[in-house]
């Protein structure tokens, strides 16, 4: 596991503070390299041994693989085993499978589902990333026709899935979207690896429940000069614990700077016949380092929990999920409408906003900048106090929006009410501790 700090990188930088990279100093540039917001090539003076040293130092423990040209999907690229040690950079990609035996209507319906899927949660749009096309017919011509149909109807990345090299070649001949090739085995690695090199595509190495064999396949592909390799150790729905253990073993080896098995991990919950088992296996795989999942069911009750779990895991633990501070309006408020307040922690804000909207209230909501913390935590930590609340009231010029001078603060911020009232000149009402009580509170207390 790498533990890089800005000083580790700074000693290899030119130390001129020229600013040509977009950062004010070389030290700032070093910090942004660690955050992956800039590239080494952004420094025009990095050359020779210093550049080589930095490339080696900053290469992630898990190799990053990118597939798809229209909507590129990044998998892998992680530096730590556990999220809290730093952060995860590339969320688990989720693909929905189709196969070349489906009718046109069924095929295009599933492709449209992936293409148009969008669910908003706490201000973030959750989507699906890819379509996995399976060669169930075992016929290269039929498979190629299916791949061509799918590619014409979606801008999502594609995964072409077949254990027949002839079928993969037929698919690649009609698809120029840089798909992910699934899969190379101990019997087909040379042919599939040759296709990956010819068409410049990433490839998946597969061995069923045999990590020693899987490592041999990866090593063989690497010996051909291939670098963009992912691995699938197989899935056994009847013994998920064994599957998860293999995922963990692969990722632990990656963290020990193993140059062979430092690959993104592919999981296939679609191998489960029961939708509930599929959801459970997908959740286990996301929890245990899967970088790409191939799903079969499209029922919302199954997809929604999985993408919500993914969102919860793949947020940056160093930065609370927040929204912009400022004044919001709900419904069609007038100058006499109530003025409520909350913090800019995303989960708090969207909960409050949802309760206001679902109640059909016409109201204003003043969002305090609490550095992304919730009400109770920000009051306890000093991110929200009377003076900062007063500053927010003045900055938003809310006095020009409403004709009264009343503000309703959250019940958990009650301790700042007296001081805020004294220094601001506003009447401060202490609202309910839970935003679901806002309608009843307004009905009783707001005239």
187-209 tens-digit pLDDT: 999 999 999 999 999 999 999 99
- 71 and 53 assigned to the same domain: no
Hey, is 424 helix, strand or coil? helix
- 182 and 294 assigned to the same domain: yes
Q: Are 333 and 326 in contact (CB under 8 A)?
A: no
1 inside domain: no
Cα 167 to Cα 136: distance, rounded to the nearest angstrom: 11
321 inside domain: no
- 238 and 114 assigned to the same domain: yes
Provide the 10 A C-beta neighbour count for residue 340.
25
407 inside domain: yes
Identify the CATH number of the domain in which residue 20 sits. Answer: 1.10.15.40
Identify the CATH number of the domain in which residue 412 sits. Answer: 3.40.50.11600
Residue 5 has pLDDT above 50, yes or no: yes
What are the pLDDT digits (tens) for 247-276? Answer: 999 999 998 877 899 999 999 999 998 899
Residue 52 has pLDDT above 60, yes or no: yes
Listed residues 41, 58, 75: the one ending a domain: 58
- 69 and 41 assigned to the same domain: no
Residue 294 has pLDDT above 60, yes or no: yes
Q: Report the chain's mean pLDDT, rounded to a whole number.
A: 94
Structure token pair of residue 216:
């041999």
92 inside domain: yes
- 138 and 286 assigned to the same domain: yes
What mean pLDDT comes out for the span 301-314? 95
- 415 and 349 assigned to the same domain: yes
- 296 and 386 assigned to the same domain: no
Q: Given phi > 0 = left and psi -120 to 50 = alpha, else beta, which region is 206?
A: beta
279 inside domain: yes
- 292 and 373 assigned to the same domain: no
Residue 26 has pLDDT above 50, yes or no: yes
State which residues form the domain around 37. Answer: 6-58
pLDDT of residue 2: 59
Structure token pair of residue 146:
């299916």
| Burial of residue 48 (number of CB atoms within 10 Å: 0-12, 13-18, 19+) | exposed
- 50 and 72 assigned to the same domain: no
Helix (H), strand (E) at residue 151: helix 140-153
What percentage of residues in the chain have a pLDDT greater than 70? 99
HSE-CB at 61 with a 13 A cutoff on CA atoms is: 21
261 inside domain: yes
Residue 290 has pLDDT above 70, yes or no: yes
- 290 and 387 assigned to the same domain: no
Cis ω for the linkage preceding 328 (within 30 of 0):
no
Listed residues 58, 73, 102: the one ending a domain: 58
283-288 long-range contacts (CB < 8 A, ≥24 apart) are 283/309, 284/240, 284/243, 284/244, 285/92, 285/243, 285/244, 285/247, 286/92, 286/310, 286/313, 287/313, 288/244, 288/247, 288/248, 288/251
- 280 and 354 assigned to the same domain: no
Residue 4 has pLDDT above 90, yes or no: no
What mean pLDDT comes out for the span 26-42? 90
pLDDT of residue 408: 97
- 166 and 279 assigned to the same domain: yes
The DSSP result for 175-210, as a single string, is --S-PEEEEE-TTTHHHHHHHHHHHT--EEEE-TT-
318 inside domain: no
What mean pLDDT comes out for the span 207-218? 96
pLDDT of residue 58: 87
Identify the CATH number of the domain in which residue 216 sits. Answer: 3.20.20.20
Listed residues 268, 287, 313: the one ending a domain: 313
- Give the confidence band of 55 by pLDDT, cuts at 50, 70, 90: confident
Q: Please report where in the chains the tokens 């020693």 appear, as a residue.
A: 212
Number of domains in the chain: 3
Residue 318 has pLDDT above 90, yes or no: no
Q: Calculate the alpha carbon distances from 295 to 49, 97, 244, 311 in Å.
A: 45, 6, 17, 17
- Give the confidence band of 1 by pLDDT, cuts at 50, 70, 90: very low
389 inside domain: yes
What mean pLDDT comes out for the span 405-422? 96
């Amino acid at each position: 596991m790498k533990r890089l700090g800005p000083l580790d990188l700074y000693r290899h930088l030119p130390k001129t503070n020229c600013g040509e990279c977009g950062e004010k100093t070389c030290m700032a540039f070093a910090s942004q390299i660690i955050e992956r917001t800039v590239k080494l090539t952004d420094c025009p003076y990095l050359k020779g041994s210093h550049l080589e040293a930095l490339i080696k130092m900053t290469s992630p423990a898990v190799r990053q693989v990118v597939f798809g040209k229209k909507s590129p999907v990044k998998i892998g690229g992680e530096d730590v085993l556990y999220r809290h040690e730093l952060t995860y950079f590339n969320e688990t990609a989720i693909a929905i499978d189709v196969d070349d035996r489906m009718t046109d209507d069924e095929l295009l319906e599933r492709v449209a589902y992936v293409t148009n899927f969008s669910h908003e949660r706490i201000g973030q749009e959750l989507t699906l990333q890819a379509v996995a096309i399976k060669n169930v017919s075992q016929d290269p011509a039929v498979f190629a026709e299916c791949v061509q149909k799918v590619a014409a109807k979606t801008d999502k990345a594609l995964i072409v899935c077949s254990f027949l090299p002839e079928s993969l070649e037929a698919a690649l001949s009609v698809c120029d979207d840089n798909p992910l090739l699934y899969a190379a085995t101990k019997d087909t690695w040379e042919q599939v690896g040759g296709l990956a090199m010819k068409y410049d595509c990433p490839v998946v190495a597969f061995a069923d429940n045999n990590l020693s064999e899987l490592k041999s396949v990866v090593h063989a592909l690497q010996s051909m000069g291939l670098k963009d390799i992912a691995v699938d150790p197989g899935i056994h729905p009847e013994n998920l614990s064994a599957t998860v253990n293999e995922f963990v073993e692969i990722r632990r080896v990656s963290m020990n700077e193993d140059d062979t098995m430092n690959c993104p991990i592919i999981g296939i919950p679609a191998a489960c016949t029961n939708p509930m088992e599929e959801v459970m296996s997908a959740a286990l795989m996301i929890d245990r380092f899967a970088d790409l999942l191939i799903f079969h069911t499209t029922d919302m009750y199954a997809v929604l929990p999985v993408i919500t779990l993914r969102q919860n895991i793949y947020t940056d633990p160093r930065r609370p999920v927040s929204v912009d501070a400022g004044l919001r309006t709900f419904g069609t408020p007038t100058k006499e409408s109530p003025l409520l307040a909350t913090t800019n922690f995303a989960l708090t804000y969207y909960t409050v906003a949802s309760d206001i909207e679902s109640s059909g209230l016409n109201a204003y909501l003043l969002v305090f900048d609490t550095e992304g913390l919730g009400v109770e935590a920000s009051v306890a930590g000093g991110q929200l106090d009377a003076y900062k609340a007063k500053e927010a009231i003045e900055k938003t010029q809310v006095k020009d929006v409403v004709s009264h001078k009343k503000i309703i603060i959250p019940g958990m911020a009650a301790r700042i009410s007296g001081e805020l009232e004294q220094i601001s000149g506003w009447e401060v009402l202490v609202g309910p501790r839970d935003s679901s009580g806002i309608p009843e509170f307004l009905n009783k207390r707001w005239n």
